[in-house]
Structure 1
Amino acid sequence: MPMLNHLKRNSFAAYWLMLGAALLALGGATSFNLYIERDRVESREQGRLLIQSRVIQENVEQNLAAVNRVLTSLRKDLLRHEASKDLNDRLKMLTDAMPGIRTFLLIDGSGTVSASSRPELVGKNFAYRDYFRIPRGNPDPEVLFVSAPFMTSLGIYGINIVRVIPGPQGEFAGIISATLDPEYFKTLMTSVLYAPDMWTAIAHGDGIQLLMVPDRTGQSGKNLAQPGSFFTRHRDSGKEASVLTGIVYATGEKRMMALRSIQPASLRQDKPLVIAVGRDLDTIYAAWHRDAQIQVGLLGLIVLGSTLGLYVYQRRQREFRWREAKAAEALEASERFMKTLTDNIPGMVAYWNRELRCGFANKAYFEWFGKTPEQMRGIRIQDMMGEELFRQNEPFIQAVLRGEPQRFERTLTKADGSVGYTWAQYIPDLQGNWVRGFFVLVSDISELKRTEIALRESEWKLKTIIEAEPECVKVLAADGTLLQMNRAGLDMIEADSESQVIGHRVVELVTPPYQQAFVDLGERVSRGESGTLEFEITGLKGGHRWLETHAAPMRDIDGKIVGLLGVTRDVTAHKQAEQELQHLAQTDFLTGLANRRYFMVLAEQEVLRTLRYGGGLSVFMMDIDHFKVINDTYGHKTGDVILQRFAEVSRKILRELDTIGRVGGEEFAVLLPQTDSEHALEVAERLRKSVADVEVVLDQGLPLRITISIGVTTLAGISSNIDTLLNQADQALYRAKNTGRNRVCIYEHRNEAG
Structure 2
Amino acid sequence: MRARHQRTPWRRNEWTDGSWALLDRSDALILVTSQGRRILYANQKATSTFARSGQGSLVGTPLRALHGSEDSFADFETFSRLLPQQQKVRTEWALRLPDGTLHWFDIQGAFLRPGHPGSGIVWTLFDTDDHHRLDTALMQAEHRLALIVEKFPAGALITEAGEQTIVTANEAMYRVLHIPPSTRLVGAGVTALSPYLPAHILHQIYAPLPRFPIAFAQPIAPYRGVYEWLDGRFIDVEGIPLHDGPDLHGGFWIFRDVSAQWQRERRLEKLATTDALTGILNRHAFLEILDRELDMSTAPGPWACTLMILDVDFFKTVNDSYGHPTGDVVLQHLANTVKRFLAPDDVFGRLGGEEFAILLRRRRADGAYELAEQIRQAIAGESVAIAPRPAIHYTVSIGLYEAPPEGATATQFLARADAALYASKHAGRNRTTLWTPALMEASGPPAP
- Deviation for aligned residue 1:417: 8.8
Q: TM-score, normalised by structure 1?
A: 0.34
Identify the residue that residue 680 of structure 1 maps to in structure 2. Answer: 368
Q: Are the equivalent residues in 1 in contact too, given 2:160–2:250 (CA < 8 A)?
A: yes
* Aligned Cα root-mean-square deviation (Å): 4.8
Contact 1:685 1:744 in 2 (8 A): yes
Label 1:461 to 1:596 Cα distance change in 2 as closer, same or farther (>3 A): closer
**Who is 2:256 aligned against?**
570
What corresponds to 2:278 in structure 1? 591
Alignment: residue pair count:
311
State the TM-score, normalizing by the size of structure 2: 0.54
Q: Which runs of 5+ in 2 are unaligned?
A: 1-63, 74-99, 104-131, 442-448
Tell whether the 8 Å contact from 2:160 to 2:167 is kept in structure 1 after alignment. yes
- The match for 1:603 among 290, 307, 316 is 290
User: Residue 574 of structure 1: CA displacement?
Assistant: 5.7
Q: 1:658 and 1:539 mapped to 2: Cα distance?
A: 27
Instruction: Kindly indicate whether residue 412 of structure 2 is the aligned counterpart of residue 728 of structure 1.
Output: no
User: Which residue does the alignment assign to 2:238?
Assistant: 548
Counterparts of residues 362-401 of structure 1 (less than 5 Å): none
Structure 1 residues 637 and 498 mapped into 2: Cα distance closer, same or farther (>3 Å)?
farther
- Whether 1:495 and 2:185 are equivalent positions in the alignment is no
- Rounded to whole Å, the distance in 2 between the matches of 1:696 and 1:500 is 63
Aligned residue number for residue 190 of structure 2: 505
Q: Identify which of 379, 394, 400 aligns with 1:691.
A: 379
- The 8 Å contact of residues 713 and 729 in structure 1, kept in 2 or not, is answered as yes
Aligned in 2, Cα 1:725/1:485: closer, same or farther, shift over 3 Å?
closer
- Which of 375, 386, 400 is the equivalent residue of 1:712? 400
Change (3 A) 1:726 1:482: same
- Shift in alpha-carbon separation, 1:671–1:539, aligned structure 2, 3 A: closer
Structure 1 residue identity aligned to 2:252 = G
State whether residues 510 and 538 of structure 1, in contact with CA within 8 Å, keep that contact through their aligned partners in structure 2. Answer: no
Partners of 2:314 and 2:326 lie apart in 1 by: 13
Q: Which of 474, 477, 481 is 2:157 aligned to? A: 474
Quote how far apart the aligned CAs of 1:732 are: 2.8
Q: Percent identity?
A: 26
The amino acid of 2:363's aligned partner reads T
Q: Describe the shift of the 1:692–1:501 C-alpha distance in structure 2 as closer, same or farther (beyond 3 A).
A: farther
Q: How do residues 294-693 of structure 1 correspond to structure 2 at under 5 angstroms?
A: 463-478=146-161, 479-499=163-183, 501=185, 503=188, 505=190, 508=194, 509-511=196-198, 514=201, 516-523=203-210, 526-527=213-214, 532-536=222-226, 543-552=233-242, 564=250, 566=252, 568-570=254-256, 572=258, 583-607=270-294, 609-610=296-297, 617-693=305-381
The Cα of 1:578 is off from its aligned counterpart by 5.7
Instruction: Give the match's secondary structure for 1:590.
Output: coil
8 A Cα contact 1:511 1:537, kept in partner: no
| Structure 2 counterparts to residues 71-470 of structure 1, below 5 A | 463-470=146-153
Change (3 A) 1:607 1:483: closer
Q: 1:679 to 1:463 in 2, by over 3 A?
A: closer
What secondary structure, in the 3-state scheme, does the structure 2 residue paired with 1:688 have? helix
Aligned partner of 1:750 in structure 2 is 438
2:177 and 2:197 in contact (8 A); partners too = no
- 1:476–1:482 contact (8 Å) kept in structure 2: yes
Measure the CA separation in 2 of the matches of 1:628 and 1:730.
19
> What SS class does the counterpart of residue 470 from structure 1 fall into?
coil
Q: Counterpart of 2:29? A: none
**CA distance in 2 between partners of 1:675 and 1:663 (Å):** 21
* 1:518 counterpart letter in structure 2: I
**Cα distance, 1:458–1:738 mapped onto 2, change above 3 Å:** closer
Residues 66-125 of structure 1 deviation map (CA, whole Å, 9 limit, x = unaligned): xxxxxxxxxxxxxxxxxxxxxxxxxxxxxxxxxxxxxxxxxxxxxxxxxxxxxxxxxxxx
Contact 1:624 1:709 in 2 (8 A): yes
**What is the CA–CA distance in structure 2 between the aligned matches of 1:703 and 1:483, rounded to whole Å?**
71
- Is the 8 Å Cα contact of residues 494 and 539 (structure 1) preserved in structure 2? no
Which amino acid in 1 is paired with 2:286?
F
Does the 8 Å contact 1:495/1:501 carry over to 2? no
Once residues 237 and 357 of structure 2 are traced to their aligned partners in structure 1, the CA distance between those partners, rounded to angstroms, is 39
Task: Return the letter of the residue paired with 1:543.
Answer: R
Q: Is the 8 A contact 1:525 1:553 kept in 2?
A: no
Code of the aligned partner of 1:474: L
Q: 1:540 to 1:682 in 2, by over 3 A?
A: closer
* Superimposed CA distance per residue, residues 594-653 of structure 1 (whole angstroms, 9 cap, x where no aligned partner): 333333343344445457756654322211223233334444444334323322322221
